[in-house]
Structure 1
């Protein structure tokens, strides 16, 4: 990878990390709200049978908990790409300028 390509890749990775972190507070707030929704849906299903409402609310609670998890995994992946770019820059500095 040339230095210019490395710069472009770093910019893309940095943008993705920022993009994934932008709405993190809202996603984790939704995950916190998902717990009482899930508990209420379980109690309702246990009490009056697992009908469409109980399953729908359980699905909503699961989704509200799963989405923040996936977003955090994507952010970790892009952060590892940023770390790899930094390591490559350090390696290139240690090796010195290219010969030829």
Structure 2
């Protein structure tokens, strides 16, 4: 089972697949510098990124909920919420600032 992390609250689109908690191995991650194209390219990039896995392989979704641009953040949150609802899996919101702070502490 996998976890999907989505970050759209900046001009960059970030996606990550991680094994279930306890193993916490990052399987794949990618960042695209899309600028104002995040909204038009998000779904295509997500569909490419999830391969060769399937939606049913996901056990949770995490999404960056800002601070950041309204439109980008909204795109990520709505997509994550829709996935979580349709797949009946947990959804976690993560502060972008908290994620940066945790990364700084870890390194």
* TM-score (norm: length of structure 1): 0.29
* TM-score (norm: length of structure 2): 0.27
Bigger relative contact order, structure 1 or 2 (CA pairs below 8 A, ≥6 apart): 1
Structure with the higher fraction of residues in helix conformation: 1
